[in-house]
Structure formats: C-alpha cells, structure tokens
Structure 1
Amino acid sequence: MTSRTDLPLPLPPRGPRHWPAWLGVGLAVLLARLPWPLQRRLGAAFGALALRLARARRAAARANLALCLPELDADAREALLRANFRDTGIGLCEFARAWWGEIAPLRARTRIEGLEVLQRLQAQGRGVLLVSGHFTTLELCGRLLCDHVPVAGMYRPHRSPVLEWAVLRGRLRYASAMFSNRDTRGALRHLKQGGILWYAPDQDMRGKDTVFAPFFGVPAATITATHQFARLTGCAVVPFFHRRETGADGRDLYLLRIGEPLAPFPTADAVADSTAVNAAIEAMVRQAPSQYLWLHRRFKRQPPGSPPRY
C-alpha cells in the first residue's frame, strides 16, 4: 500500500524569511519535552491569557455556546467558556507532546473502550473511517490509539512550509500514513485496501461539497465527504470519542472510546447521512463540552434568508 510514510519528506526551507517559523518550532519542541505537570500548568495559563486577548475567538465561542447550549444560564455558559479556553491551552501542549515529545508516562493513564470493534472490522478486511470531532485531545489520543492499531489521518496543509514539514514529520512518527485533504484518491485507496482513516468532518469547509444539516439543532454547512467515502469504498463509519479526565488521585486520565459503526450507512441521502454524523459528534461534545473547539465559527454559513449567527 502506498502512503505518505513510504515517501521521503522534502527538505524544509531554511532561508532567513523562515527563521521566525523555525524559532517557533524550536520553542514548541522544547515545550514538548518538559515534564507533563509543568506543561499542563503552562497550557492552562496560556488559555487564560488567550481568553483575555483573543477577542474575536472569544466572541465566536460565546456565540456558539449560546446557540448550542441554550439550556445553560448565562453564568454557566461563562464558566464553560473559561474552562474551554483553559482546555484549549492545555490541548496545545498535548499537540506538541504528541508530535515531538514522549508519551510513555501517559500510556499507563489511558483507558480504551471498544478496541474490539476495530479489530473485528480489520479481520473482515473492511476499511474504517474513524469519525471524530475537533477536540483539544485529538492529536494526543490519536497517537495513543496508534499504539494498538495502524491509523492514517487526513489533514489540511499549513500555509507555512516550515510548519508543514515539522508537523507532518511529527505525525509520521506514529500514523501509518497522512493524506492531504487534496489527496482524496489516496485516502479512498487506503480505505479500499482495508485501512483505518481518522477524519473530522465537523468544520465549515469552504469550497467543498456541503449540505445544511442540524448540529445542536442549528443548520450547519456540513461536508458530505463521510457519505461519499462510505459510498465509494464500502468502509464502515465508526465514531471515535476521546477526552481527558481527572482520576481519583487528581492526575490526568485519557479515555478513548470506539463506537459501533453507524447504521444504516451510507444511505442514498447525503443530507440524512450528514445529519447522522453530526448527531454522533454532538453526542461526543455533550460528554466533554469544555474540550471541544468552540472557537471555530461553525455556523458562519447559513441557509438563504437565515439571520447571521455572528
């Protein structure tokens, strides 16, 4: 099977205009190698600072929480907003640790449920589209899952060639392959050959084939790729939930939960399938609302005649 891991990464650019990016990568690598308790405190502090300074993102997150969780009163939503920025800051440290650090101390603090689902589908030779949402723990928990089954991923290339090289090199330490969102053929081939592919379809992908499907009861422009991947390859679409918990000893635990394949899926209706995928991700969010990427303007595009959401 041809994959990104079979191909040498091109040498990264090193000219003076790329030095600031290299400095940022170097600092992130150093951060990734600090003891986790210190990393966690730094991440929480960064999240608190971002809450004060990132006004546009704060406004987007506040609007999303009001749209999606109207059952909470204003004080509860503000508390969730603060927790979300804290967890986002911690999540940045988890990203860095997954890419460039060691996770051996965290393996013993990990619980995986439903691994037998993937093993059963692998034994059948069936491809798996592992559907998740943009949670702050996605990169670290993806790496932890790769300890048990070979998982490839799809990603959106970075504009900075330095970040593109550094992040891709970090991910290929554990992922079986990485496919750019422009490499649809490679991803389809991987699924047809029985591979497992991680995919998060919960963002508004401009320029892609989308339909409006409800997410927390609000129309959301939803990419139809999950429906198309399943229709073209016969793969199983399997929900993958992950979160950070606090153990009885006060230390972090990581929960990874593999669900049963969505069924019936795919159907002939892309809107119905996209609605089913959004419902699965919504259920995940309700289990760990502070760890979801509320900073993304999920409802920026709306059906004609709808009021603006931001």
Structure 2
Amino acid sequence: MSAAAPPDLPIPPRGLRHWPVWFGVAVCMGLARLPWPLQRAMGAAVGWLALRLMPSRRRAARTNLALCMPELSTSERERLLRENFRDVGIGLFEFARAWWGDAAPMRQTARIEGLDILGRLQAEGRGVLLVSGHFMTLEMCGRLLCDHVSLAGMYRRHRSPVMEWAVLRGRLGYASAMFGNGDTRAAIRHLKRGGLLWYAPDQDMRGKDTVFAPFFGIPAATITATHQFARLTGCAVVPFFHRRIPGKDGGDRYLLRIGEPLAPFPTDDAAADGSAVNAAIEAMVRQAPSQYLWLHRRFKRQPDGVSRYSREAS
C-alpha cells in the first residue's frame, strides 16, 4: 500500500508571533531531507548535548532506570542512560524524516512479522487496536507499517497551530486518519467499522480516567482507554513492537513485530486489563531498553501521593 498524498489542510496563522515556530518547522523540514548517515551522526551529537544540558530529564531517566532495572549495576545503568540519550537524539531525526522526508532507506531493510495476524482479524470483521509504547522509532515504524495496511493513529494535539498543521500534514501523507486526544467518538467509529488504530497508552495522561497498574512492578497511573475501546467496539488489542537494529557496517535495520491479540481482553476489571497492557509494553521495553522514552516521569503519581521523583539524584 503506497502512502497517500499530503492533504490540503487549512494554512495556519502567519502572524509575527508565529514566526519562530514557522522558522523551526522550516529548519526541521530541511534537516529531514539530509542523508540518513548524516542524520544519524547529528542525532547522536544532539543526544550527547541533551544528556549534559537537560539535568531534569537526565534525573528522571536515571530514576526510571534505577526503579525499573534494579538488577543492573550502577555502571550498567549509566551506560544505558548514555545510550538512551543517544537514541533519543537519533529518534528526533527519525521523527522528522517520517513526517517530512524519504523513508526509502528504511523501507529497504525493514522486516515486518505478523502481518498475517492483522489479515486474519480483519477477515473476521474485527477492528484492531495496535498497542505500542513510546519508543523513539514509533513514527518511522508507523510509516513503514502503512506501506502494508491502512492504519490510523491517535495523537496528542500540539498547542501551536503551526506545529499542529506541519505534523498532521506529514502524518496524513501515510496514515489513513489521525484522531486527536479529544476525538474519542471518531476513533470508536473507526474501530467499529473494522479499522486499524495505533495507540500508545504508556504515559501518565493527567485529566484522563486512570487506574494504578504495575509497570516493571511499580504502580503506574494507567489510562483506561484501551479497556474502554475494546469493551465498546469488540476490537482486538494487539501488541505492536518496533525497534531499530544498528548494523556493524553503519547501516540500520528496522524490525516491526505484530503479536497475537491479548486474551482474555477486555475483562470486567479495568485495572486487570491495564496490567495486561503494561506487561505487554514492559516486554517490548526489555527487548530495546535504550530506545524507550525513559525521560517521561512515568511514576510521578502514586497511590500514596508521594512522587517517585521527589528525591532524584543528579
């Protein structure tokens, strides 16, 4: 399935106060067209700088790694921290390339496992909710998957109308539809019609219905939308793992793996379903820990009201 042509979206405001964002978008669109080896090297440099210039995010990532991977030694976690920031930097260029650049170099080396699972579920007339985590490869691998299936996505809207326009225009060049975080009814209709919808429910989304469910054995505020989508539409909830595999020759490969539907799902217990989703994402993270978004304060809200980040080490 080839990518769709970018849609004709209304042009956002061009007033003076929006010029900095317009400039930033123009720069990012230019960077998105650089050769991939150069982007990769620049991304590694950006990650090196971010590790040193973003102390609060460094502390959050270090705390997350200590909480989630206590089996590693301190030196092993510090090495993983450095690798994580490097992959975050590279991931920024993967995002830009997915939105505004050429995916041909990635397409040539990508391997997708489990497309037959999606075909079987759609043949049964079921909608499919592809559940993934916030990995730095999520946007590029979403684009690669759209070469083979008609896939819609859910996303958090940008505050800037310019950034919202630019990113949405890029995504709709390959996704069949994009539903903002307030478009729940439209997403439900899409699933009821047998559509495929990609969703990453592994962040603490304040203001949403949540339950506390374990993630790496630690209570994490977990959105109940996955449970609700399955209950209201009868869709299958399918784990979707993706990662970039660095090659010894300097080239990269992309692995996309679609799993069997979670079962039994949904149950009558939203917390149990949240635990099942978190367990699936945890298994993905353990396969590619450096490419996960450890910078997010996943455990800030706790049942006892005490943040896990109140005494972060520098």
Cα offset, 1:305, TM superposition:
5.5
Show the counterpart of 1:280.
Answer: 280
Match of 1:23 in 2: 23
Distance 1:63 1:145 in 2: 33
* Higher mean C-alpha deviation, range 241-250 or range 192-201: 241-250
Please state whether the residue corresponding to 2:254 is helix, strand or coil.
Answer: strand
TM-score (norm 2): 0.95
Looking at structure 2, the residues matched to 83 and 56 of structure 1 have their Cα atoms a distance apart, in angstroms, of 17
Give the counterpart letter for 2:34 in structure 1: L
Mark the CA change 1:149 to 1:304 in structure 2 (over 3 Å): closer, same or farther. Answer: same
Contact 2:6/2:169, CA 8 A, preserved across alignment: no
Residue 154 of structure 1 corresponds to which residue in structure 2?
154
Partner residue in 2 for 1:211: 211
Does residue 71 of the first structure (1) align with residue 71 of the second (2)?
Answer: yes
Q: How does 1:47-66 map to 2 (within 5 A)?
A: 47-66=47-66
1:304 CA drift (Å): 2.2
Structure 1 residue 82 displacement after superposition = 0.3
2:245 is equivalent to residue 232 of structure 1 = no
How many angstroms apart in 2 are the aligned matches of 1:78 and 1:7?
A: 44
CA distance, structure 1, for counterparts of residue 32 and residue 89 of structure 2: 13
TM-superposed deviation, 1:306:
4.8
Measure, in 2, the Cα distance between the counterparts of 1:222 and 1:118: 26
| Matched letter for residue 74 of structure 2 | A
Change (3 A) 1:289 1:101: same
What SS does structure 2 have at the residue aligned with 1:25?
helix
Alpha carbons 2:7, 2:169 under 8 Å: kept: no
| Residues 137, 291 of structure 2: 8 Å contact kept | yes
Task: Compute the displacement of 1:104 (Å).
Answer: 1.1
- CA displacement, residues 34-64 of structure 1 (integer Å, 9 cap, x when unaligned): 0000000000000000000001100000000
SS of the equivalent of 2:282 reads: helix
Matches within 5 A, 1:142-291: 142-291=142-291
Q: Which whole-Å deviations, capped at 9, do the CAs of 1:131-168 have from their partners, x for residues lacking one?
A: 00000000000000000001100011001111000000
Measured after TM superposition, the shift of residue 129 of structure 1 is 0.3
Aligned to 1:128: 128
Counterpart-to-counterpart distance in 2, 1:197 and 1:139: 14
Deviations 1:215-242 (A, max 9, x none): 0000000000000000000000000000
Range that drifts further, 299-308 or 63-72: 299-308
- Which residue identity is paired with 2:72? L
Secondary structure in 1 aligned to 2:165? helix
What is the CA distance between 1:69 and its match in structure 2?
0.3
Structure 1 distance, partners of 2:235, 2:7, is 25
Figure out how many residues of one structure are paired with residues of the other and give that number: 306
* Partner deviation per Cα, 1:195-228 (whole Å, 9 max, x = no partner): 0000000000000000000000000000000000
Stretch moving more, 247-256 or 80-89: 247-256
1:307 offset after TM fit, Å? 5.9
1:82-141: CA deviation from partner (whole Å, max 9, x where unpaired): 000000000000000000001112111100011111111111121000000000000000
Cα distance in 1 between the residues matched to 2:48 and 2:305: 37
What's the offset of the Cα at 1:12? 1.1
SS at structure 1 position matched to 2:28: helix
Measured in 2, the distance between the counterparts of 1:37 and 1:7 equals 30
What are the superposed Cα offsets for residues 220-270 of structure 1, whole Å, 9 maximum, x if unpaired? 000000000000000000000000002354410000000000000000000
**Matched residue type, 1:186:** A
Q: Equivalent residue for 1:139?
A: 139
CA RMSD, 1 decimal: 1.4
User: What is the DSSP-based 3-state SS (H/G/I as helix, E as strand, rest coil) of the residue aligned with 2:228?
Assistant: helix
1:112-127 to structure 2, matched below 5 A, reads 112-127=112-127
Q: Report the Cα distance in structure 2 between the residues aligned to 1:190 and 1:87, rounded to whole angstroms.
A: 33
Percent sequence identity over aligned pairs: 77
Task: Summarize deviations over 1:16-41 as a string: whole Å, max 9, x none.
Answer: 11111011001100100000000000
For residues 169-215 of structure 1, give each alpha carbon's deviation from its aligned partner in whole angstroms, at most 9, with x where no partner exists.
00000000000010100000000000000000000000000000000
Letter in 2 for 1:203: Q
Distance (whole Å) between structure 1 residues aligned to residue 34 and residue 284 of structure 2: 30
